[in-house]
Chain A
Amino acid sequence: MNSFPDDPKNTPSRLGRRGLFAGSLALGALAGGRWASVPAAAAALRRTAVPGTVPRLVPMRPHADQITDIKVCLRPFRAAGPRLDVERVGEKVVIHNYGHGGSGWSLSWGSAEMAVGKAAALSPRRVAVVGCGVIGLTTALVAQRAGLDVTIYTRDLLPHTRSVRANGSWTPDSRVALTAPAGPQFADTWERMARYSWKSYRDYLGLPGNPIDFRDSYVLSDTPFDAPEPEPENPGQKGDYATTGMPQQSSEFASYGARIRDIIPAAELLSAQENPFAVPYARRAPLMIFNFGAYGHLLLSEFYQAGGRIVIREFHTPADMKSLPEPVILNCPGYAARDLWGDRSLIPVRGQTAWLPPQPDVAYGVRYKGASALSKSDGLMIQGFDMSGLGEMDGVGNSFEHADRSEAEKAIGIFENLFARFPAGQG
C-alpha cells in the first residue's frame, strides 16, 4: 500500500527510452555549444522537459477540517507470500487466493490468472468464488473469461470490503512477503503476477470515468536522495521472523521491484528550476492509480454482463464449503481467512487513509516526511505510512481497525505545511 515505484533502487539509465525526446530538446543546448553531442546533452540533462517548462501544479488544499472519511485497512500479510495452494474440503476442490499484503490491487489480475488456471485444469463447468473484494471480483472475471459459469458467494460487496480501504496505487511489492520465508521461487511467481497485472490494467486506461489512471508522483526530501539513510530498524528489538514468528525489521521484507523495472516508469531527479516545492530535493515518476468507485462499478458491471451471479452469504467454517453446488471453489476471503480458515500465518498490517474532497484539477501525488497525498477521482487521499520511522514495520501486527483521527490530522498537517510554502520562491 505504500511502496512507490520511484524507489531509489529503481534508477536505471533512461537514455534508451527517452533518447529521442531528450535529444530533440537538447538540440538548442547543442547550438549553444554547451555539449559536444546529443547523447552527451541527454545524459547531462537526465530529464524529459526543458527547465522551466514543467506545467504549473495546482496546489492541494489539505486541511484537517476538510476530512470527509477516514478508512482503516488490515493488509492480509503472509511471510511466505499469498496462499495459492489447492486443498480438498470433502468433495470440493478449494483453490486459495488470499494473503497479498499491501499488493492485492496491484497483483489482482496476475494472481487471479494463476488461480483460475488451476481451476480450469479440472474442467468444471461452473465454479464458486468466495469473497468479493478486489481479489474475489477479479478472480471471478478471469474465470468467466476462461469460459466458466461463476457464482460469487460473499458477505459484503464493494465498497464494504476491506479492499476499498487501501490507498489504491500500484504497489506490487508492498508487504507482500518476507524475502527469506518466501524464497526465490515466490520471486518468480511474483514477477509473473506483476507483469500480467500491469498489462491487464493497461486495458482499463483512458476509459470514461478513468477507472485506472496515471499520476505524476513527487517524492520530496530535505536531504539528498543519495545520502545514506539511517536504517529504520526497531531499536532494542532482536531476532527476525525465523526466531520470533513475526517480522522484526524492515530489511526482512521482500523488494522485487527491480525485476520489472523495464516496464515501470523510472523516477527522475528534478533540478531546482523544475521543482515547484519549497523542499530542496524532489524526484518525479508516473504512478498508476486505481480509482475505487469507477473501477469497482466497472468490474461489477462486467461480471453481471457476462452472466455472473452473486449470492450474499456468510461462511462460518470451512466445512460450509461442502454445501455449495459448485465442485470447484476459488477462495478469496482476504484477511477473513485468518479466522474462517484458521490461518494464523496471516499477520495484520494496519494502514489508514484520510480522504478530503476531490480536487480534479490536481493531477499529481506527493510523498514527504513519511506521508503521501494523492489526488484521485474519489478524493484527495492522505496517508501517514511511516511517520514514526518504523519503515516497513509500521502497522505490523496491529489489528486495530478503528480510525485514529489524530494520526490523520498529523499526516494532513505535513501537507498543509508544505502547501503553505507553495510554490517555492513565493510567500
Chain B
Amino acid sequence: MRGLRAKGLCAALGAGLLALAGQVAHAAPSRAGTSYYTAAQAERGAAAYQQFCAVCHGADLGGAFDVPPLVGRFAANWSGAPLGQLFDYMSKAMPLFAPGTLTQAQNADLLAFMLHENGVPAGRHDLTPEGVKTMLFPKTTAASMK
C-alpha cells in the first residue's frame, strides 16, 4: 500500500507537468497523444477491480440488472464530463458497501483500468488524482470499441 502511495506521488508530479503543458485534455480529450494512464497502472487497477468492484459490477464490468455497467452505457453517461468528477465520485461513493475506504492511488489505478476497458489506449504517464482534474472522459469511437 505504502509503495503504491509513493508511486502515486511521483506520478502526481509528472501529471502536474502534463497539465501545465496546456489544456490539451480539455481541448481535445480523445486526441491522439494524450496520455491518460500506463499499461502497468491498468494492470494494477485490474487486480484492485477484481478485489473490490467485481463482486457487484461483474468481472467483465458488464454490471447486472440492479448494478450499472462500467462500459457501454457508462461511457455514454460520462463521455465529455470532467474525469475529476468521476474520480471524486468513485473516491466518495465506492465501493458501495464501504464507501471512501480505498486510497487515492487505488482509485487512480481503478480509473486507469476502467479507461482501458472503455477503449482508451495506454500512454506514457500514470493517471493521478491531480492529473484527472484537467482531463475529460474521452468520447468513445467505433474504432476504440473492443
Contacts and interface: CB of A to CB of B under 8 A. Distances in A.
B13 interface: no
Interface string B42-54: 0000000000000
B39 interface: no
B53 to A, nearest CB: 12
A400 B97 CA distance: 4
A402 interface: yes
Contact of B77 (A314, A317, A399): A314
A401 B56 contact: yes
A160 B65 CA distance: 7
A71 B64 CA distance: 12
A402 B77 CA distance: 23
Contact of B99 (A156, A160, A399): A399
Interface in A281-325: 313-314, 316-317
A169 to B, nearest CB: 20
A339 B89 contact: yes
Interface in A140-165: 155-156, 160, 162, 165
A338 interface: yes
Contact of A165 (B66, B92, B99): B66
Contacts, number: 40
A72 interface: yes
Contact of B66 (A339, A342, A398, A401): A401
A128 B117 CA distance: 34
A316 B92 contact: no
B66 A317 contact: no
Nearest to A313: B77
B93 A339 contact: yes
Interface residues of A, number: 19
Given A155-B68, A165-B66, A402 B97 contact: yes
B96 A399 contact: yes
B81 interface: yes
Interface string A262-298: 0000000000000000000000000000000000000
A317 B89 CA distance: 9
Contacts of B92: 339, 342
Nearest to B68: A155
A178 B4 CA distance: 43
Contacts of A338: 93
Contacts of A316: 78, 81-82, 85-86, 89
Contacts of B89: 316, 339
Interface string B26-69: 00000000000000000000000000000110000000011110
A401 B97 contact: yes
A397 to B, nearest CB: 11
B91 to A, nearest CB: 10
A155 B69 CA distance: 12
Nearest to A71: B66
Nearest to B90: A339
Nearest to B86: A316
Most buried by B among A71, A72, A160, A402: A402
Most buried by B among A162, A316, A400: A316
Interface in A317-343: 317, 338-339, 342
Interface in A191-220: none
A167 to B, nearest CB: 15
Contacts of B96: 399-401
A239 B56 CA distance: 34
A258 to B, nearest CB: 35
Contacts of A162: 66
B77 A160 contact: no
Given A155-B77, A401-B56, A317 B85 contact: yes
A338 B99 CA distance: 11
B47 to A, nearest CB: 20
Interface in A373-427: 398-402
Interface in B94-141: 96-99
Given A316-B86, A338-B93, A339-B93, A402 B56 contact: yes
B64 to A, nearest CB: 10
A402 B56 CA distance: 7
Contacts of B85: 316-317
Given A338-B93, A399-B99, A401-B97, 20 more contacts: A155-B68, A156-B68, A160-B65, A313-B77, A314-B78, A316-B82, A316-B85, A316-B89, A339-B89, A339-B92, A339-B93, A339-B99, A342-B92, A399-B96, A399-B97, A399-B98, A400-B97, A401-B56, A401-B96, A402-B55
Q: 10 smallest A-B Cβ distances: which pairs?
A: A339-B93, A400-B97, A314-B77, A316-B85, A399-B96, A399-B97, A401-B96, A316-B81, A339-B92, A317-B85
25 contacts: A71-B66, A72-B66, A155-B77, A156-B68, A160-B65, A162-B66, A165-B66, A313-B77, A316-B78, A316-B81, A316-B82, A316-B85, A316-B86, A338-B93, A339-B89, A339-B93, A339-B99, A398-B97, A400-B96, A401-B56, A401-B66, A401-B67, A401-B96, A402-B55, A402-B97
